[in-house]
Amino acid sequence: MINERRLRDLFEYLVQIDSVSRQEGVISREIRKILESMGADIFIDDSGRHTGSDTGNLIARFKGNRAAPPLFFNAHMDTVEPGKGIKPQFADGVFVSDGTTVLGADDKSAIAIIIEAMRVIQENDLPHGPIEVVLTTCEEIGLLGASHLDYSLLNAGYGYALDTFDTESIVTSAPAANHFEFTVHGKSAHAGAEPEKGINAIVVAARAIAGLRLGRIDSETTCNIGFIECAGATNIVPETVHIKGEARSHDASMLEKVTREITAVFEETVHNAPERQTNGDLPRLTVSIKNQFPNTFISEDHPVVTIARTAAQNLGRTLVSKKTGGGSDANIFFSKNIVTGVIGTGMRDAHTVRESIRLADMVKTVALVVEIMGVHAGRGEEKAI
């Protein structure tokens, strides 16, 4: 039933449409044409005015042929850089880029899979309840599209995000994340003539960073510094340095503890800096802490899990529950009381120019999505909707 050539062609077509974060307008319009030709009702929300994207999130509704609650499937339309001018290569059943860009399988493999699954459903008149397809913008830069989605356009209470690599698992637990920004304010001076009159903000920040616990904190918690910026010349004692990072944990109390510890180290380091003895209120610290996304947890007996497992069993496969350290749109959906399992498309080495995906893995996920729709529809009585 699955048309592998059609799936391959659609994926190749989608990845060649540039759609780095905040520039999803062109691909959104192309996807809209495809979904409208399949009979979907299309809605574009106004999230662009909040995210800075040139379009909003795309929501497509397909009527069902069984009496069942609405079910939704999610993917994101944006890619990371370098993501312009992607030239997909296909050999021995594997897609790669030409090595100068990402491939865009994250997450255009998911979009192609969802569309092919709906085509299979329609062409074979397979049972399905109402299906909602939610394609977001700006996922790669902080889940912004999902954060500003117009949730009044959604009717589904649960569903699936296709945004991980493992085709044999369903992500049922993902961490919450706090984003932190510290700005250390020192004092500029001529680095060659009178460095004694300055306070080197980089030196003060380095002392603080050296005092942090970074990387793997425990089995459920991680912490990372990912950005340090200081503009200036080598003959000027740097006055300001900006540091950005994040902490993640499946344990909310541990996340708050680690965040407090990080902040305390910076505060104490700046306050106790030896340079302060002769410079009064300098060095100084500015702090910003924001929750990026909440954690997710799905119990083993929730329909999201049991439906997916039954679907996999029907296909002669096993689907295991999995805990991940990554975040996705699913985290934001959870904050809106929409339970969302994350399933894989087969993408590998995402966010690198080595990104790849096997067509066979995409076909496996199409089959799983089609079967999930059927199992879900089987929970209700036959009725045209």
* CATH code assigned at 271: 3.30.70.360
In terms of domains, do 285 and 372 share one? Answer: no
384 pLDDT band (50/70/90 cuts)? very low
What value, to the nearest 5°, has the Cα angle with vertex 30 and ends 28 and 33?
110
- Report the pLDDT value the prediction gives residue 383, as an integer from 0 to 100: 34
186 closest CA partner among 269, 264, 263 = 269
- The verdict on residue 275 lying in a domain is yes
pLDDT > 50? residue 50: yes
Average pLDDT estimate for 136-140: 98
- Read off the pLDDT of each residue in 355-370 and give the average, rounded to a whole number: 98
Residues 230 and 333 in one domain: no
Residues 107, 243 share a domain = no
**Distance from C-alpha of 85 to C-alpha of 26, rounded to nearest angstrom:** 14
Q: Specify the length of the chain in residues.
A: 385
Active-site residue, selected from the candidate residues 107, 139, 246, 355: 139
258 and 218 assigned to the same domain: yes
For the chain, the domain total comes to: 2
Mean pLDDT of the chain: 95
Q: Let me know if residue 18 belongs to a domain.
A: yes
Angle at 251 between CA 246 and CA 253, to 5 degrees: 85
**Adjacent-strand bridge partners of 341:** 160
Interatomic CA distance for residues 309 and 321, integer angstroms: 9
Lowest-pLDDT range, 227-236, 260-269, 272-281, 350-359?
272-281
Picking from 258, 292, 326, the residue at the C-terminal end of a domain is 292
CB count in 10 Å sphere of residue 12: 17
CB 25 within 8 A of CB 53: yes
384 in a structural domain: no
Q: Do 308 and 167 have their domain in common?
A: yes
Which of 244, 263, 292 terminates a domain? The answer is 292
Residue 380 has pLDDT above 60, yes or no: no
Q: Do 316 and 230 belong together in one domain?
A: no
- Inform me whether the pLDDT recorded for 225 exceeds 50: yes
1: pLDDT strictly greater than 80: yes
Residue 22 lies in a domain: yes
Two tokens at 40?
């979907």
Range of the domain at 150: 4-174+295-377
Q: How far apart are CA 286 and CA 88, in angstroms?
A: 45
Q: Which of 271, 292, 313 is the last residue of a domain?
A: 292
Asked, for residue 385, whether it belongs to a domain, the answer is no
Structure tokens at 68: 């069942």
Provide the terminal-to-terminal Cα distance of the chain, rounded to the nearest Å. Answer: 24
**How buried is residue 381: exposed, middle or buried, by Cβ count under 10 Å (0-12/13-18/19+)?**
exposed
Residue 382 is assigned to a structural domain of this protein: no
- Is residue 56 a contact partner of residue 48, using CB atoms and an 8 Å limit? yes
Task: Give the model's confidence band at 278: pLDDT under 50 very low, under 70 low, under 90 confident, else very high.
Answer: confident
Q: For position 382, what pLDDT does the model report?
A: 35
**Residue 156 tokens, joined:** 């589904």
pTM above 0.85, yes or no: yes
Report the pLDDT averaged over residues 76-89.
98
Q: What is the CATH number of the domain that holds 331?
A: 3.40.630.10
**Same structural domain, 22 and 124:** yes
Q: Report pLDDT for 279.
A: 67
Pair 151, 253 in one domain? no
Assess whether 73 and 215 both reside in one domain.
no
| 139 in active site | yes
Whether 311 maps to a domain, the answer reads yes
Token couple for 140? 């790669």
Residue 42 lies in a domain: yes
Strands (E), 165-214: 169-174, 176-185
Mean pLDDT in residue range 338-358: 98
The answer to whether residue 371 is catalytic is no
Residues 144 and 202 in one domain: no
- pLDDT beyond 80 at 26: yes
**Angle in degrees, 0-180, between the axes of helices 105-123 and 359-377, rounded to the nearest 10:** 50
Range 267-300 burial, b when 16+ CB lie within 10 A, else e: eebbeebebbeeeeebbbbeeeeeebbbbbebee
Neighbours of 353 (CB within 10 A): 14
Give the residues across from 339 on adjacent strands.
Answer: 158
Same domain? For 219 and 331 the reply is no
Do 208 and 164 share a domain, yes or no? no
pLDDT of residue 241: 98
Marked catalytic residue, from 78, 106, 107, 140: 78
Whether residue 63 is predicted with pLDDT greater than 60 in this model: the reply is: yes
Quick one: pLDDT band at residue 40, thresholds 50, 70, 90? very high
E-assigned strands of 128-264? 131-136, 158-164, 169-174, 176-185, 215-218, 221-229, 240-249
